[in-house]
Structure 1
Amino acid sequence: MKLVIIGGGFGGLRLARSLSNKAGFEITLLDRFNYHQFQPLFYQVATAGLDASNISFPLRKVFHQSKNIRFRVAEVQQIVSEQKMVVTDIGNFEYDALVIATGADTNFFGNRNITDNALPMKSSVEALQLRYKLLQNFEDALLVKEPEALQRFMNIVIVGGGPTGVELSGAIADMKRFVLPKDYPELDFSKMKIYLLEGSSKVLGAMAEKSSIRSKKYLEELGVTILTDSILKDYDGQAVLLQNGNIIPANIVIWAAGIKGNVPNGIDQELIAKGNRIKVDRHCRVQGFDNIYAIGDVAYMQEPAYPNGHPQVAPVAMQQADTIANNLKRIEMKSSNALLEEFTYNNQGSMATVGRNLAVVDLPKPKLSIGGFPAWLIWMGLHLMLILGVKNRFFVFCNWLYNYFTYDQSLRLIFNVKADKKK
């Protein structure tokens, strides 16, 4: 079976590894990067807590011992289902089965000004660019004398009260407390304001009520100003305009308010659901096809417990990859179609870190909400285990230890990633 997998994220990588060296499979993995990115820790790269190389792992290295997997760095241009072909910028790839695991990208909801001026964080490159903007902002603030103009540099606005927004807010608040006053003693950081905007009535809305309340309390104790029921209407690079008419002057706006699926060209628009996700059946097959699958953030599947689709988190993608791996083995062995396994998401819990010694964890069985230092230890332990590569785990752990005992981050290097790319 010629299997083509588009995307080397959590789902695509899990599927490829599950079928590595399995008889009967010839696998091609396509990705526009040559490395796997550990997205849950992007915010630590952006706030100088970790280096991008610590949370990235070369995809070719993953498959050193795999005899049936080829990897190609490629931009997918189109899927031609009639010819069972994937068209890319480096050539065409034929398939017997195709798995779309392209993940999701930032959703700016069509607002051009926000697209041009706000800072997203959906890749290592974007996280590094955010770090550059954040640090350069305070370098520029040293040159400003006029109080009103200076306040623009001292205001940081994060849009979106989900895990990414909460974790970023907490990390920047920790920088304000422990790092920035030492780096920039000329600036008065009592005037620095961190705003977290959330369109709904609470932060971490997908988590338990107790965790939502706890996270709000923790953030407020860290000095973060939380504005719920607040929708950003426009941003011109210097001032945030809220839907209620209020204005917040700010040079930096970080956008964590929404994502949309990365749907390749060639997928019928009738198969696209809300959030730019591809409609799939309970076997993860794209509706109307028996040889094209979609998993993870780009897939929209309805099951009784999730009538509006699954949460766009890594465990969903990895569990769907396991289901497809089992089903493809049965198909390759010419098993009856009736024996194909239906996907059912096993929710093992959710978590978010808020700051130093602070996190929230929800466990479904037993139904339990944990907060504070114990939750923070759970969060750290789980993320450390999920990082790819022993060396990466070691360096991340060492960085965390160093940061914890010194109250400092050692990676405040100002690299302009986009400028370096152009050169």
Structure 2
Amino acid sequence: MKKALVLGGGIGGSQAAIALRREGYNVTLVSNRPYIYAYPISIWIPTGEISPEDVRIPLDEFSKSWNIEFIQDEVVRIEPETGKVHLKEKGEIGGYDYIVLALGQVKRKEKGIENTLSICGTPEEAIKIRERLQELIKKGEGRIAFGFGGNPKDKTAVRGGPVFELLFNVDYYLRKLGIRERSELTFFAPMPKPGERLGEKALKMLDELFRKYNINKITGKKIKEFKENGVLFEDDTFLEADLILYTPAGWGHPVIAESGLPTNEAGFVKIDETCRVEGFENIYAVGDCAAIEGPPWTAKQGHLAEVMGEIVAHNIAVREGRKKGELKSYKEHINILCLMDMGWRGGGLAYRSDKRAMLIPIPVLGHIMKKLWGVYFKLYKLGRIPKII
């Protein structure tokens, strides 16, 4: 039985491991965390609606369910020419027929970024956001700034949706506690029209929500520096804040950058449309670490990372003659699909493709739908129910 090594235990990496196992490969998964972290539902950790444990899917249970070898360790070096991988604790491993890169991305470095917290950062940051939010609640007032940044070298690496979700959930939470009128919430972003990849209708709906919930907005100003007490913009105007919740754009993983693999200007590994790394027959990449090519509105999302994981396994099996069929392309699956949660008020179903762009309000039920998705995701990853979406 041929062996495949998957580096990274996130949404895309775990799906690649599952799909490769189903195709009959002996799979080893390496992750620096002992769990899969369900980022889409981590937005409720700061408001206490769920606990950090609810967001974690233990990789030891995952590996037993799918008969996958799991190694908890950190990847420190990849030798693409020899197929060897070096881990921090275990050292050198090799002898794999295929390697799948699913290492994710790192934060784009910005001046003073240490003064911010991100809902898309480490799992520990979500807990820290909750703690800082509780401090403001005890005071009975506070100024909170919510924002996300861009990456001019790769516009697919922007994380805007989770920031909007966190903003609306915190707004709802503070209203429920009766202190929203003494709290100042401000959204900021360097681009003139943040969220425009969802389409003009979605932009108008977001503006209406900002007005309805009395949320300030500062857009089109580049960020000069983050300070302990606020955000300094390029025109030297200053947004005062007691808490800055900011998600920077992504940048390529340093291990990939140092490996000699082909990368784009932002450090993401170059792949062809079958997810195979350019110039290498047996190395593939999925999710955030890969350079995705598509329409101007293309965004990296969890569902695309999962699809890429499935495509990798399918294409490897087809190329080996294990199964019949045509090679598949990830480009056929590029779209934006998310349920933008707003707390128990509901949510908005956002969708974007070449043919359509929409944001449909779903009062109350939208929140329940996302809750149910979280349950489904966990059960599926543990092999307890079949994949349905």
Q: TM-score range by the shorter chain?
A: 0.7 to 0.9
SS of structure 1 residue aligned to 2:198:
coil
Matched, 1:369 2:370: no
Letter in 2 for 1:97: Y
Q: 2:330 aligns with which of 327, 343, 365?
A: 343
CA contact (8 A) 2:348 2:366 kept: no
> Which stretch shows the higher mean deviation, 350-359 or 52-61?
350-359
> Which stretch shows the higher mean deviation, 237-246 or 283-292?
237-246
CA contact (8 A) 1:300 1:310 kept: no
Deviation at 1:42, TM superposition (A): 1.8
CA contact (8 A) 2:8 2:102 kept: yes
Correspondence for 1:412:
none
Correspondence for 2:42:
42
SS of structure 1 residue aligned to 2:197:
coil
Partner Cα distance (2:272, 2:249) in 1: 24
Deviation at 1:220, TM superposition (A): 2.5
Partner Cα distance (1:206, 1:256) in 2: 17
Partner Cα distance (1:96, 1:391) in 2: 27
Correspondence for 1:320:
308
Deviation at 1:361, TM superposition (A): 2.1
Correspondence for 2:53:
53
Matched, 1:225 2:212: no
SS of structure 2 residue aligned to 1:19:
helix
Matched, 1:70 2:59: no
> Which stretch shows the higher mean deviation, 196-205 or 318-327?
196-205
Over the residues paired in the alignment, what is the CA RMSD in angstroms? 2.9
Partner Cα distance (2:322, 2:171) in 1: 57
Partner Cα distance (1:273, 1:361) in 2: 32
Partner Cα distance (1:21, 1:242) in 2: 51
Unaligned runs of 5+ in 2: 150-159, 383-389
Correspondence for 2:144:
156
Judging changes above 3 Å, is the alpha-carbon distance between structure 1 residues 38 and 255 closer, same or farther for their aligned structure 2 residues?
same
SS of structure 2 residue aligned to 1:220:
helix
CA contact (8 A) 2:199 2:357 kept: no
Unaligned runs of 5+ in 1: 143-152, 182-188, 394-423
Q: Deviations over 1:79-128 (max 9, x none)?
A: 01222111001222212210001122332x342x2x22111222322101
| Matched ranges for 1:2-401 at <5 A | 2-20=3-21, 22-23=23-24, 25-67=25-67, 69-89=68-88, 90-94=90-94, 95-107=96-108, 109-111=109-111, 113=112, 115-121=113-119, 122-139=121-138, 141=139, 154-160=142-148, 162-179=160-177, 181=179, 190-265=181-256, 267-268=258-259, 271-302=262-293, 306=294, 310-333=298-321, 340-346=327-333, 347=335, 349-363=337-351, 367=356, 369-374=358-363, 377-378=365-366, 380-381=368-369, 384-385=372-373, 387=375, 388-390=377-379
Q: In percent, how many aligned pairs have the same letter?
A: 20
Judging changes above 3 Å, is the alpha-carbon distance between structure 1 residues 239 and 363 closer, same or farther for their aligned structure 2 residues?
closer
Partner Cα distance (1:163, 1:66) in 2: 31
Judging changes above 3 Å, is the alpha-carbon distance between structure 1 residues 294 and 179 closer, same or farther for their aligned structure 2 residues?
same
Partner Cα distance (1:116, 1:382) in 2: 31
Partner Cα distance (2:311, 2:5) in 1: 16
CA contact (8 A) 1:300 1:309 kept: no
Correspondence for 1:421:
none
CA contact (8 A) 1:105 1:262 kept: yes
Deviation at 1:171, TM superposition (A): 1.4
Deviation at 1:381, TM superposition (A): 1.8
SS of structure 1 residue aligned to 2:349:
strand
Q: Which runs of 4+ in 1 moved over 6 A?
A: none
Deviation at 1:32, TM superposition (A): 0.7
CA contact (8 A) 2:4 2:28 kept: yes
CA contact (8 A) 1:160 1:255 kept: yes
Partner Cα distance (1:177, 1:379) in 2: 17
SS of structure 2 residue aligned to 1:48:
coil
Partner Cα distance (1:274, 1:160) in 2: 20
SS of structure 1 residue aligned to 2:196:
coil
CA contact (8 A) 1:37 1:56 kept: yes
Partner Cα distance (1:263, 1:97) in 2: 21
Give the structure-1-normalised TM-score.
Answer: 0.78
Deviation at 1:286, TM superposition (A): 1.3
